[in-house]
Amino acid sequence: MTGTTTGRSPLADWAMDHLACGRDLIERHVPEPQERARLLGLLDAAARRIRDTRLRLAVVGEFSSGKSTLINALLGDGLLPAGALPTTGAATWVTASRGTPGYSFRLDRSAHHIVLLDGRPPAPEVLSSLRGTEPDAEPSADGAVLLRELVSEGPWCDRIDELTLSGCAPLLDQGAVLIDTPGSNSPVAGHVRVTRRVMAEEADAAVVVVSSHVLITDSLVRFLQDAVPAPAGGRYLFVITRMDDLDGDDEYASVLCSVRTRVQRQLGIRDPVVLGAAPAGVMKRLAGRSLTAAAAHWHERFPELEQALGRFVTEQRPAGVPLRVLRSLDEALALVEEALTHRHQNLEAACTELTARPVRELDDFLSPRAEPVRAVTRQVAQAARTVRRDVDLACDDVFRSAATSLVALVYSSRSRTELATRVGATAAHTVEEAVIALSEELADLISRQVNDAASGAVRLLDEAFTAEYADCLPTPVPPVGQEPNAIEALGPPLGGRLHGTTLSRSAVLGALARNEYLGKCAALVLGGFPLFPGLDRLQEEVLTSLTTWLESVHEEVRVDARRLAEAAVARLEQHTSALVEAYRATRTGTVAQLLSDRAAAYRRMGKEGAAVAKGMATVRQRRLLVRTHLTRLDVPREPYE
């Protein structure tokens, strides 16, 4: 077998220089690995088409028109399957063999497999690979039979990606490659797409095979009109098969005239080349079978067809191969231009997004008029109001409870003596315990509330920072509240520093033990018999006196508690101001780096955008040159600049 024939030519070198430019642009400006690999693969395929100096001759026609039989006759071997029903399901490339004939194929984009037609069975790995794709099918151990199974008869037909057959024929030695295609009107799904792709992307010229029984149908005319642009119509050669079924030269001449006239009218080809042949008779003679007189006549004339095909290849090759090179190059450069355009649009969109969403300086973000700081100020003010309210409520609750205790103390006394004792000692102790409990409660309450307010301020700043900067940062930045070092920088929790603070006016507690009014109440109880002869009346008078005393203590404690609350609020406000500054210090590096990175990204994208735009201009200039040659069919000569 032999591989693709390649050669060096000024045109190929010129085209490869264009491809090298496109490849360099793709490698530099397509960042996505998968897309870059896909585009480079397409450029590599274009490079292979450009290096191939052979004329690619597609053999097309409707199914059962005799395409495969014609190729078999040219090869002098019945390798390709032929029949009355659609057979060929994949494009089969037929190339010249420099050694042992054979074929290579690829299934499902896997590795290539090679089978030599030397009488030996295919290699075990070939058969094993086929069994792996179709476990219920057993491939033939005969290479020729296996070829038929791959092309038309086996379960692998629809899975063939590539199939290349190497054989011996004068036409192949003249630098032609034959491409056997599925029928242009095949009812099998996908067959017509294969043929259209070959005509549009691979073929330099085409041999259109029609049967003398059917001639050129409307469907074939439509296919040829759609498959290849009109200027390429001169690359057609028409072969009418089954000529041995016609009745004499008159009918033969009539058929040729009919085909030539329709080609001229329907396809716009002024002087089409239309030839007759009977390749089936050639194959019968190769098989040692007898021929009819008409078949024998056309068998003798078959060399005329081979010579005519040779002249067609000789005539078409100087223009057909360069035309394919130019078209392949234009398609490849179009891919490069499309990729660069897409990249340029993405870069412009990214720059627009950066411009549309500027990053605020941290000093602006944390200025007194900025919403984050104002939100913290509002929260501190709310916390201050809550502290003042809760301090008053706590004082009221404690003294209300103390008043209830004093009522019980007075009315539970059974005698003047018991009442005097309780008023002199128990009343003071009851209120003293209440005030001590209040002091502890206020310390805990104020500590908890200001600590919550301080923590809430950190959360507010973190939430505002995330909303402002998170979308601009390459990686999420943890909140300051979750960074131990940042917490230490802000100092110990404010509530902890206030937790040991109690009611500081010792006179309040001392007055409870030494209050002169309590002594007067006790004296009143013991010596007030003339004024209050009954115990009930005495209890009422004593309770009135105690209530007056308790209210004075209540007011004195309330004043001291409010002082304590105001001191805590002042500390909270000071702490909040320090917290904002500490937050500024904590985030300064992050925002500065963000601003630096965005500026660098903008410069980088601008620089790449300019490079991409320059590359786009270069590709467009090169495409314009290529398309100029395509339009004029003017193949560049040396030097190609």
Is 636 among the domain residues? no
Q: Please confirm whether the linkage preceding 639 is cis (ω < 30° from 0).
A: yes
Is 635 among the domain residues? no
Structural domain count, the chain: 3
Is 4 among the domain residues? no
Tell me: do 314 and 397 sit in the same domain. Answer: no
Lowest mean pLDDT among 36-40, 83-87, 104-108, 627-631: 83-87
Tell me: do 196 and 256 sit in the same domain. Answer: yes
Which position has the token pair 């929260």?
A: 379
Is 82 among the domain residues? yes
Residue 320 carries which side chain, given as an amino acid letter?
A: G
Domain hosting residue 378, numbered range: 362-597+604-630
Tell me: do 333 and 366 sit in the same domain. Answer: no
Tell me: do 300 and 409 sit in the same domain. Answer: no
Domain of 322, CATH number, reads 3.40.50.300
Residue 273 pairs with which residues in a beta bridge?
Answer: 237
Is 293 among the domain residues? yes
Q: Of 106, 140, 167, which closes a domain?
A: 167
Tell me: do 265 and 318 sit in the same domain. Answer: yes
Tell me: do 102 and 237 sit in the same domain. Answer: no
Q: What are phi and psi of 365, to 5 degrees?
A: -60, -35
- Does the predicted TM-score (pTM) go above 0.85? no
Q: Of 145, 167, 189, which closes a domain?
A: 167
Is 5 among the domain residues? no
| 339: helix, strand or coil | helix
At 550-565, the pLDDT tens digits run 888 788 778 878 887 8
Is 2 among the domain residues? no
Tell me: do 240 and 296 sit in the same domain. Answer: yes
Whether 533 shows a pLDDT value over 60: the answer reads no
Average pLDDT over residues 243-268: 88
Q: Write the DSSP assignment of 246-290 as a string of letters.
A: S-HHHHHHHHHHHHHHHIIIII--SS-EEEE--HHHHHHHHTT--
pLDDT (0 to 100) of residue 200: 83
Is 640 among the domain residues? no
Tell me: do 385 and 237 sit in the same domain. Answer: no
Q: How far apart are CA 284 and CA 279, in angstroms?
A: 9
pLDDT (0 to 100) of residue 336: 94
pLDDT (0 to 100) of residue 539: 79
Tell me: do 472 and 344 sit in the same domain. Answer: no
Report the mean per-residue pLDDT for the chain: 81
Q: Of 127, 152, 167, which closes a domain?
A: 167
Average pLDDT over residues 334-349: 93
Tell me: do 580 and 474 sit in the same domain. Answer: yes
Tell me: do 309 and 188 sit in the same domain. Answer: yes
pLDDT (0 to 100) of residue 593: 85
Tell me: do 466 and 396 sit in the same domain. Answer: yes
- Cα within 13 Å of Cα(411), Cβ side: 8
Residue 457 pairs with which residues in a beta bridge?
Answer: none
More confidently predicted of 381 and 493: 381
At 487-524, the pLDDT tens digits run 344 334 443 433 444 444 333 344 444 444 444 455 55
